[in-house]
Structure 1
């Protein structure tokens, strides 16, 4: 099999889908009483704020609609400052380098990286089911249980992963995951010996399957749960007519390792840049 090549149009397709996902989830947060949430378009991407300390607070997909001017960036910064939040920008390395230069000149600092991996789905995708693991769809009747397992998994990072700078309260994380996992999202649960051990989700839009999250309870790791969840989503995505699947992982993480074992390849890296100023 030849290595995947990620050109600008493919990266733009992925980044626009991610920006749309952030916007749709944040629009749900805006409907809660007393919400200060906002969604702002910016240079082909979107700036979103859901609530204090939320993983939805970011600028995603920036740079695929040109280089933002100083007035546009100032408007985004003022919106975040008004709610007392720093700004975090996820910037794909394929965009115009002038964007990174403009951000650092405004006081943004490099905080971390995340990898975007993809897999071509044009071809058979065999299901892999380790012994003792069962995968089934998750419906509305068990959504609360799905969220509980997701919060357990995300709240306790794998001890073999590099340390993360991002920490979220369980309450805020659960609300964000609820907003991200409703609507046009397929949810899955993995059972080990009849006990829910892991969960995952997938968003299918215009032939692109976004693997939008997966978590395993700490006591059930190293039993093939993530392999089974990846395999099930790949098969379902191919069956739904998708031509491409994409997943975002922390560099050098178990999630990246599991994805690459299932045929995913590194497409590009996002630099995560942030600023601590909030009073503009």
Structure 2
């Protein structure tokens, strides 16, 4: 794993551990945020080998919080960690594309009205309109995570979309991007990406990162904003 990927893995793991109940097991940073939330998982920080003892401790933490033993890692780590994962009955369950953006090269400022939101619950409710039924509980958790900057885009004076930004060790993580269904196709995601890249640069970040579902409309917007595909985020869940 090169230094660039390791920096990204460390930042994601550190950010993952904010809020909720946090625990570390070797290179894994685990967090539990509430019953049944998809945020309940662990991140491999890229710093060390993953042992069977680490996994046993993580699985005990997961069982104590009634959550599946699910962990995320960046693909350069997979060759090293796959043997202990396979031995403990983990299977690959999800893949996302990981994109990065050098903040020395910014896109144009957004043309839509993008504002900071100071009402986390209002932001979460609007975000859930875009993500769909059943998403409001997790978006409320996201909105209240320490150190998270919340943004809303407006079209014709009406709220049209949401996004979030978190900074960790010089890396700006972009997440929580959602567009209200009847405002799609109007450049909302593009505006929210540009606004956060400029904000991250102003706040001293050198690099921005974002994850995308392969082949999605969000991925196309991310590529148009100047992000480059850097690696994969692999999710493993214990099934055995």
Q: TM-score, normalised by structure 1?
A: 0.79
In the other structure, the counterpart of 1:220 is 183
Say yes or no: does 1:98 pair with 2:80: yes
Q: Select which of 178, 181, 184 maps to 2:143.
A: 178
Q: Secondary structure at the match of 1:52?
A: coil
Q: CA deviation at 1:213?
A: 2.0
In the other structure, the counterpart of 1:150 is 127
Say yes or no: does 1:80 pair with 2:74: no
In the other structure, the counterpart of 2:48 is 66
Q: CA deviation at 1:88?
A: 0.8
Say yes or no: does 1:9 pair with 2:8: no
Deviation per residue, 1:10-51 (Å, 9 max, x gap): 11211211112121122xxxxxxxxxxx32213333012222
Q: Select which of 76, 84, 94 maps to 1:112.
A: 94
Q: Secondary structure at the match of 1:153?
A: helix
Say yes or no: does 1:233 pair with 2:196: yes
Larger radius of gyration: 1
> Greater strand percent: which structure?
2
Q: Secondary structure at the match of 1:94?
A: helix
Say yes or no: does 1:135 pair with 2:129: no
Say yes or no: does 1:188 pair with 2:151: yes
State the alpha-carbon separation in 2 of the partners of residues 195 and 247 from structure 1: 26
Q: CA deviation at 1:174?
A: 3.4
Query: Could you list the runs of 5+ residues in structure 1 that have no partner in the other structure?
Result: 1-6, 27-37, 157-168
State the alpha-carbon separation in 2 of the partners of residues 115 and 105 from structure 1: 26
State the alpha-carbon separation in 1 of the partners of residues 27 and 42 from structure 2: 11
Inter-CA distance 124–176: structure 2 relative to 1 (3 Å threshold): closer
Q: TM-score, normalised by structure 2?
A: 0.92
Q: CA deviation at 1:185?
A: 2.2
Tell me how large the CA RMSD over aligned residues is: 1.9
State the alpha-carbon separation in 2 of the partners of residues 148 and 171 from structure 1: 6
Query: Could you list the runs of 5+ residues in structure 2 that have no partner in the other structure?
Result: none
Q: Secondary structure at the match of 2:121?
A: helix
Q: How many pairs align?
A: 240
Q: Does the CA contact (< 8 Å) of 2:100 and 2:229 recur in 1?
A: yes
Q: CA deviation at 1:276?
A: 3.6
In the other structure, the counterpart of 2:162 is 199
Q: Select which of 22, 39, 47 maps to 1:39.
A: 22
Inter-CA distance 175–143: structure 2 relative to 1 (3 Å threshold): closer
